[in-house]
Structure 1
C-alpha cells in the first residue's frame, strides 16, 4: 500500500483534533488528565502538521516540532482501519530521515500505550520517564538511521 504525506491546513484541524481525542481519551482518563480542544488548537497552530495518506485516503496525521537538538513527534495517530498495515512504521522512517539534522528524533508516550512496541521496533529507546510517560528517542544520523 503506497503511503505519502500532505502538509495539513487549518481545514484539517477538526479531523486531527477528533482523531487525537478518540485515540488518547482512555490514556487521559487513566492518568487523570483533562482533554482541552483549545489546548489542542493552540498546539496545532505552533506545530508542523501532516496528514498521512494510504492509497489516496486519509489514514492519520502527525504533528511535529523541532529545536536545535531534535525533531519531536508530538502526535502520531492512525485511523483504526489503517493500523497494522505498515503506515506507522513508514511514517517513523520518514521522520528519521528528516531528523538526520539535528540528529535526534524524540517523542513521549503514555506508559500504558502499546505504541511503545512500535517505537522500540523502529529504533527508539527509553531515555527517561515522568509520571505516566516514557520519554523515547532515536539517534538519526546518516550513518545510523
Structure 2
C-alpha cells in the first residue's frame, strides 16, 4: 500500500512530541541544547501538521509553516523502524507539490549539520543556503520554471 498524509489533530500531539524527542534528543545533547516538551507543544499549535501513514499505521509526521515567499518544513520525523523505506522522500515530494500549487518561490528547512537526513534533502534538490551554530539552512528554489 502507498503512503498517505492525514491532517493531524490535537490527539496526535503526544505521538509527534515523543517521536521528535526520540529522534532528536541525541542532537540536543551533542549541541548542549535543552529539549522542552512545552516549547514543542507551542510550536505544534502554530503549524500545519500532517501524519504520514501507511496501512493505517502512523509512520511519522510533517510540520509546516509559511511566509509570503516560502513553505517551510519545520519537522519531518519518521519512526526509526520506517526510515529508509521511501516515506521521507515521498513526503518531501508532497510538500514540493504543495509549495508549487501555492505558487511559493521556495521550500526551506533547517537540519542539524550532522543529521544524515541532509543527504535526503540534497537528493531532493535542496541546496545549502546558510549555516548557523549547529544547523544547516537548506532551500529548493521553485521560482525557476520546470521545463
Which TM-score band applies after superposition, normalised by the shorter structure? over 0.9
Contact 1:97 1:140 in 2 (8 A): no
Counterparts of 1:93 and 1:43, CA distance in 2: 23
Q: Could you tell me which residue of structure 2 aligns to residue 111 of structure 1? A: 113
Q: CA deviation at 1:103?
A: 1.9
Aligned length: 145
Alignment RMSD: 1.4
The 5-angstrom pairing of residues 1-145 of structure 1 reads 1-100=1-100, 101-141=103-143, 143-144=145-146
Q: CA deviation at 1:56?
A: 2.1
Contact 1:104 1:139 in 2 (8 A): yes
Q: Deviations over 1:97-138 (max 9, x none)?
A: 111221210000000100000000011000000100000001
Q: CA deviation at 1:141?
A: 4.7
Unaligned runs of 5+ in 1: none
Secondary structure at 2:12 match in 1:
helix
Unaligned runs of 5+ in 2: none
Q: Deviations over 1:51-94 (max 9, x none)?
A: 00022211000100001010000000001111111000000011
What TM-score comes out, normalization by structure 2 length? 0.95
Counterparts of 1:98 and 1:126, CA distance in 2: 21
